């Protein structure tokens, strides 16, 4: 089972410019709507195609989805490990945790309390 990474640890990795690949396990629609800065999209149902977007099995990979109840990232992290990826971390708290901490996202949807937007 992939080790858990917290929001604070993930943000620190980003701030330091650590070399890692951030992967959103949700659908392309959810990804396009809003995703963590620099994330790529590998929906769980396409994890068997991981080698096309994640050719380096020694790269550090952080996988996330919506929230702790979302199983996609946990299952994707498990399958990546089974495929031979050796440095997989799981941001279990997910995108909702990131947004609730008022951290930036990329995508077409605007997030902010003043507009009443939130992740469903």
Please return the burial class of 38, using the count of CB atoms within 10 Å of its CB with bins 0-12, 13-18 and 19+.
exposed
Full set of structural domains in the chain with CATH: 7-104 (3.40.250.10)
Taking only the tens place, the pLDDT of each residue in 22-56 is: 999 999 999 999 999 999 999 999 999 999 999 99
pTM recorded for the entire structure: 0.89
CA–CA dist 51, 109 (Å, integer)? 29
Secondary structure letter of residue 41 according to DSSP: E
The overall average pLDDT reported for the chain is 91
| 63 beta partners | 23, 90
What share of the chain in percent tops pLDDT 90? Answer: 88
For residues 61 and 85, is the Cβ–Cβ distance under 8 A?
Answer: yes
């Amino acid at each position: 089972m992939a080790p858990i990474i917290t929001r604070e640890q993930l943000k620190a990795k980003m701030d330091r410019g650590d070399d890692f690949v951030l992967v959103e396990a949700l659908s392309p629609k959810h990804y396009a709507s809003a995703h963590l800065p620099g994330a790529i999209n590998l929906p769980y149902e396409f994890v068997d195609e991981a080698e096309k977007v994640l050719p380096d099995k020694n790269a550090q990979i952080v996988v996330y989805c919506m929230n702790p109840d979302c199983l996609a990232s946990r299952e994707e992290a498990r399958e990546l490990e089974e495929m031979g990826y050796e440095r997989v971390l799981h941001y279990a708290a997910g995108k909702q945790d990131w947004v609730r901490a008022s951290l930036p996202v990329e995508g077409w949807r605007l997030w902010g309390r003043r507009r009443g937007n939130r992740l469903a």
